[in-house]
Amino acid sequence: MQNILDIIRNPWPWYLAGPMIGLTVPMLLLIGNKSFGISSSLRHVCAACFPADISFFKYDWKKEIWNLVFVLGTFLGGMIATNLLANPNTFVISQATITDLRALGIQDFSGIMPVDLFSTAVLFSLKGLIFFVLGGFLVGFGTRWAGGCTSGHAIMGLSNLQVPSLIATCCFMVGGFTMTHLLMPYIFKLF
């Protein structure tokens, strides 16, 4: 039993984890003719909890209950992994990444998420407003505009050889690189 826990607790190499994630797509298609994606679950929650007279939310969300169960399972799995199956080893970050982050003013590398960015003090500051509220709005807007999120396009769309998903995934990557290498240094200097 301890060997199984050790396997689960330690990070898995990309060549095992990647194919397992990738095989989720054909399993969903073969078992239930379902498409993988996370962002659509917010629409299902809104349709279920706030049945307003909005055409976008007028559909049979109960047919998509599997998606809500999937998202709930993902959340619960993350909670179990964080609280019961935490990796006992020290979190390892490459020295080059630490150097780059220190240049941006991030100094605390004690956990998986830097406290300099992810603390309640930051959350309720101007920096938090920009990073979390404005950033969250932009991610949500982009997800709606692109017709799906990164996981939906990059995993589901590309595996189905959909050209719009290839274009969306390329745009996600360009946007991520642009934000990381061109915009973030200026945003961090403001704060």
| The model's pTM | 0.65
Arithmetic mean of pLDDT, 130-156: 82
Confidence of residue 150 (pLDDT cuts 50, 70, 90): confident
Report the percentage of the chain scoring pLDDT > 90.
7
Give the number of residues written for the chain: 191
How far, in whole angstroms, is CA 186 from its chain's centroid?
24
From the CA atom positions of the chain, what is the Rg in Å? 19
Q: Which of 177, 190, 6 is nearest to 88 (CA)?
A: 6
CA distances from 98 to 44, 45, 109, 173 (A): 40, 39, 8, 22
61-65, Cβ contacts within 8 angstroms, sequence gap of 24 or more: 64/40
Predicted confidence at residue 2, as pLDDT, reads: 66
